[in-house]
Amino acid sequence: MYDHLIMKENKIAIVTGGNRGIGLGITKSFIDEGYKVIVGARKDRKLKDIFGEKVFFVKTDVREEKAHHTLVNIAIKKFGRLDVYINNAGYSFWKPISEINEEFLGDLLDTNLKGTFWGCKAAASVMKSKASIINVSSIAGKRGSSNNSAYVASKFGVNGLTQSLAKELGPRNIRVNAVCPVLIATEGLIEALELEYAPGRGDPNTFISNFTKSNSALLRMPTELEVGQTCLYLASDNASAITGQCINVDCGVLPQ
């Protein structure tokens, strides 16, 4: 038992965007399990006040490939290993295709898709057998929705990337999976739902409530911590036969 606890304490995870919303739920889940977590994000948000010396913040712009290599190099230099890399950083934004320009599309794809791609590449360059990459996608990566073409395309891309890399990295015994949450009322989602073309139409809470009643088998939405616990399971030895999967965390909104 004691040796098992020491092993967990020595495990290292990187979480991009792990300082708020779903990312914060993931960070908390891994820290509670005994991991040391390196959070790569644009702002610290006083993580050490919450988690103390169990968390390490690195200012990161996930759109830049070199930023991901910086994160993994810090993990190797500081701890000598990297067990889990979680590509969580990303954002939602509803906009009809007629209003989408090069700047908007470029930034969204650079953040949501290319940011995940660079994270996978950097992690794979240092990971050893039994390590795990987890990409935070969305059920928007499995079905389209109105005024959401750019975001949906980015998340379909994340799911395809996940499946491809599972085949590519599998011979090295590195597993690659994705989690696909549904609407979770994070700060970022509420902000996105308040914008002009979003289905919230300025009333996000009512939209989420009505969506839940109409679509959720459990008549509720998942929490950030439930996404975190799913990631924790996928990173664990209990999921050693699971790779290339894009697993819904959606309270039965999209049964598959």
| Closest by Cα among 181, 227, 188, 228 to 45 | 188
Is 151 noted as a catalytic residue in this protein?
yes
| Closest by Cα among 15, 21, 19, 17 to 223 | 21
Give, rounded to a whole angstrom, the gap between the first and last alpha carbons of the chain. 38
Out of 35, 91, 151, 197, the active site residue is: 151
Tell me how crowded residue 29 is: count the other CB atoms within 10 A of its CB: 24
21: helix, strand or coil: helix
Report the alpha-carbon distance of residue 24 to residue 17 in Å, rounded. 8
Q: Residue 36 is inside which H or E element, if any?
A: strand 36-41
218: helix, strand or coil: coil
* Residue-wise DSSP of 103-133: HHHHHHHIIIIIHHHHHHHHHHHH--TT-EE
> According to the 3-state scheme, what is the secondary structure of 39-102?
EEECCCCCHHHHHHHHEEEEECCCCCHHHHHHHHHHHHHHHCCCCEEEECCCCCCCCCHHHCCH
State the catalytic residues. Answer: 151
